[in-house]
Every structure is written in C-alpha cells, then in structure tokens.
Amino acid sequence: MKPLAIQARACLRGLLLLTCVLQLGACASLTQPGPADRQAIAGKTFVVTGASSGIGRAVAHELAASGANIVLAARRAEVLDEVAGEVRRVGGTPLVVVTDVSRAQEMERLAQAAIGHFGRIDVWINNAGVGALGRFEDVPARDHARVIDVNVNGVIYGSHAALRQFIAQGRGTLVNISSVQGQIPTPYQSSYAASKAAVLGLGRALNQELRLARRDRIRVVTVLPWAVDTPFFEHAANYTGRAARSIAYDDPTMVARAIVWVSLHPRDEFPVGWKAGGAYAGHNLLPALTERVAADVEHATQIESGPPAPPTSGNLHQPVRGGATVEGGLRSHSAR
C-alpha cells in the first residue's frame, strides 16, 4: 500500500475513534492553578527531576511564580544553573542538585540535599525521561536497557526516597510522569512504551499499599500526557532513518500547569488535556481498535514520512548540548 493511502486510512480511523471518545475524554480538563493554589504553593518544597528542559523546566517556572522552594535535578549542571537564575528572578527559591536518576545513590543524595536545605519535601515530581525510536531489532540492546534504567529505575529510586520521607513526616504527594503510551503502546517506541506502562503499574500498586496502610495523607499521582512540544524528540535515540516526529503536539506550559494543579488536587491517574483523555477513555472502551489506530498513525507519521536522518543514540548515555529550552519548536515546524 502506498504511503499516502496508509496516512489516509490512519487519519480516517483516528477521526472515527475521536468522534466516539471525545465526550468520554472531556473529563480530562485543561486545569491550571488558581489564586488559592498559588497561595498554597508558596513556601512548599518541590523536587523536580528532568528540570533542565521541556516539561520539567516549565514546571519549575510555574512553581517559582508562586514562591515555591524548588530542588532542580538533571545531569547538565550549567543548564540547571540557568534554570535556577530564572527561578530566582520570578520569586522562587532554587536548589541545584546534579543528578543521574538511574543511579540509586544519586537519588538518595538528592532527597537528603532537599531535606538538609529546606527541612522537608512536600511534592516529589519524577519527570526525567528518555526515549529510543526504531524497530525493536534495530535499536541496540544497550539503548533499550538505558531507557529502562532512566524511565523505570529512576522513577523507582525517586519514589522510594520520596515515600520514605513522606512516611517520616506524615504526608506528601508523589507525582510520576508516565505517558498515554503507558496505556496505549505504539510501534517503534517499544522500550519507551514498556517503561511508561511500568510507571503506570507502579502508581497503581503504591496507591493500594497506601490504602491498606491507611496512609491517606500520602498520595501517588500518575500523569499521562499526550505528545508534548519539548526537546524530547531532539534528545531521543533514533534508528528509524527519519527525523523524530509525532502529531498534534500539546503546549508544554499547559502540561506543566496541569502537573502543578494535580500535585495540589491529587487523583490516582490524570490524563492531561482532551487528546490524552480521549485516548485513555477510548482504550478503556475499545482497546484493540485504539491500539490499531495508534499504530497506523505512528507508522504513517514516523516511518512513511519525514526527512531522512542518520542514526543517533541521542542523550541516552551522555547529556547533549542542545535542547535546553521548554519548547522544542515542533508545533511551528508542523505548521510550516
């Protein structure tokens, strides 16, 4: 079948599915903190991993505007210093802790630094994440393993450190960033989809443990965004032969505001926006159809179109210089 026909079929199926689930997804509103929320944030301590770019950097900006204490964690020290300066300028109090989330001892050091500097941790946001694009057999095994190290082990280490502190102080909120792909896996991102499904399963298990222990002042939230216009695609390992891309990107600032909001109004699982909410609800209603539609769209978008690109391991094994902004410029590129 020709690429154009594949794209047309994928778009048609997507539209049909969207029509079915749009009302179901309406419950995932575009939430953002209000004046009372801003007052509640002031003086509280938030740990944010992956704070050097994308969603993490946007979350830091949102929190800083309300006067929060923000512990900024990522691998790029010089970029974290830039973010710290931005946080100070708008009224927040930053603490920079250079951290590789895949190393348990560094995550424990992150927790101890936050407690030592601010005395407590109110919210811990496990946001750091990496990706690898390509047919499963074309992506090197060490790259698949690194995705799991960062996206799964990093969340486990962060959750372990956070929950131990929350139990000691009697309360706290853990926010783990999964993805719609945690619910609806797509081809050519196999280890990423597996990692996000693991984050979703972890949150469900932890919430049951907390319920059984009657620790109702400690909450675990799993956030499921849609594809977001951040440097993630610039940073991702890519073995597809084409430039990394997705469709209908969401605004990272909108996603960051939703993350801040749900940290104050926790619920177990939180799809961000109508696209994520519609996909999440659609998968609950028609799982096989939803996965086929998602797979067709991913194939048409990533494999059948887009400019050629050389293979790269991206930022998996070493930080990269580029892509230190909140936005990735993907929406403007798509519009052009």
For 11, phi and psi rounded to 5 degrees?
Answer: -65, -40
Active-site annotation, residues: 192
281-289 contacts at long range (C-beta below 8 A, 24 or more positions apart): 281/21, 281/24, 281/25, 281/27, 282/17, 282/20, 282/21, 282/24, 282/25, 283/183, 283/184, 285/20, 285/21, 285/24, 286/17, 286/20, 289/13, 289/17
Alpha helices in 90-140 (DSSP H): 104-118
Whole-number Å distance between alpha carbons of 267 and 222: 8
Instruction: Kindly state the helix (H) or strand (E) to which residue 198 belongs, with its residue range.
Output: helix 190-212
What CA dihedral angle connects 184, 269, 111 and 114, to 10 degrees?
A: 120
Spatial strand order in the sheet of 218-224: 93-98, 69-74, 45-49, 123-126, 172-177, 218-224, 269-271
Token reading at 255: 């996603």
Phi-psi sector, 141: left (phi>0), alpha (psi -120 to 50), beta: alpha
Total residues found in the chain within this entry: 336
The residues with which 47 forms a beta bridge, in sequence order, are: 71, 124
The 8-class DSSP code of residue 26 comes to: T
Whole-number Å distance between alpha carbons of 11 and 154: 36
